[in-house]
Structure 1
Amino acid sequence: MLYLYAKAVHIIFVITWMAGLFYMVRLFIYHTEAKQKPDDEYRILHHQFMVMESKLWWIITTPSMYLAVAAGLTMVFLAPALLGAGWMHVKLTFVLGLVAYHFICQRILYRLRDETSRWTSMRLRVWNELATVLLFAIVFTVVLKSAVNWIYGVLGLLILSAMLMLAVKWYKKIRER
């Protein structure tokens, strides 16, 4: 029964972690685009974005990551046989990628705060899609487990990535009109 509670907590905090990551990069995009405003307007927006980003990062996103990881480790502690499953190794690899993504976002947060970021809004839009690809990879790996045909899985991720990149480029063309 304790395993199921840990699983429920894990799912809840994965959802809040992902929501935080998705919204954080969206704020980064708006923060970056605010640089195109007149200086006095930018100063106001820069301050407001710093407040919003800081609260989202330190109150929701980062605690959610730690709680999701803690609940996941609890599940592995309660059911150590999970570590013997091949799908779990794949999932943990994708999770490590997501944790790396999290800390790269934190570095972007600091650089935007210090006004040293070189990320363009277009590059941030593409960056935002990486979290989507990782989310899809993790969910499909967990749900399908050993039934996954890895060739189709990899091809599916590549197709998803290509579709997301096309959508970003299509959106850019619409915005430029």
Structure 2
Amino acid sequence: MTYFYIKALHIIFIITWFSGMFYIPRLFIYNTEANEKTGVEKEVLQKQFSIMMKRLWLGITWPSAILTLIFGTWMGFLYGGIPQWLMIKLCFVVALYAYHFSLQKIYSLQMKGIFKYTSQQLRVWNEVATIFLIAIVMLAVVKQGMSLVWGLAGLVLFIVILMSAIKIYKQLRK
């Protein structure tokens, strides 16, 4: 019984963590584009985006990442073993935390007024969380019913389609 409550809390914090990781790069993009403006417009926009980024990152995203880790680890102890599908999923989760730390670096730079990446680069980086979401959810739900080869092939195909869509969108914006 306890396992299901812990699992529910784990899922809730996964959702809020991903919400933050989906939205923070959008704020990075808007802040980067605001940096290209001049005068009062630039000042007002960047002040507002800084407030929004700080509240989202420190108030929602970071606490959710920590609570996801706590409840996920707790679930692992209650589950009692680590099947092969879970080991693969955990590899994606470790990579997801690496992505989270890359967002932390961008956040820290932008809060200092340093804009290392273009808005187009940030648009591509914005989609990385989607790739992780698909891989992790498919592994958690389908488990042993999915072939590793077909699963990876499907993920690669999705990435190709996603990157193509980003290129097409860039062309349409021009």
- Listed one character per residue, the Cα deviations across residues 30-70 of structure 1 (whole Å, up to 9, x for unaligned) are 11111221133112211111110000001111101111111
With normalisation by structure 2, the TM-score equals: 0.97
- Listed one character per residue, the Cα deviations across residues 56-97 of structure 1 (whole Å, up to 9, x for unaligned) are 00111110111111111111111221x2x0001101000011
Matches within 5 A, 1:1-177: 1-81=1-81, 83=82, 85-176=83-174
Moved over 2 A (4+): none
- What is the CA distance between 1:150 and its match in structure 2? 0.9
Q: Is there any run of 5+ residues in structure 1 with no aligned partner, and where? A: none
- What is the CA distance between 1:172 and its match in structure 2? 0.9
With normalisation by structure 1, the TM-score equals: 0.95
Q: Is there any run of 5+ residues in structure 2 with no aligned partner, and where? A: none
Rounded to whole Å, the distance in 1 between the matches of 2:131 and 2:152 is 11
Rounded to whole Å, the distance in 2 between the matches of 1:166 and 1:35 is 27
- What is the CA distance between 1:117 and its match in structure 2? 2.4
Q: How many residues are matched?
A: 174
Residue type at the aligned position of 1:128: N
Sequence identity percentage: 45
Q: Which moved more, 1:30-39 or 1:102-111?
A: 30-39
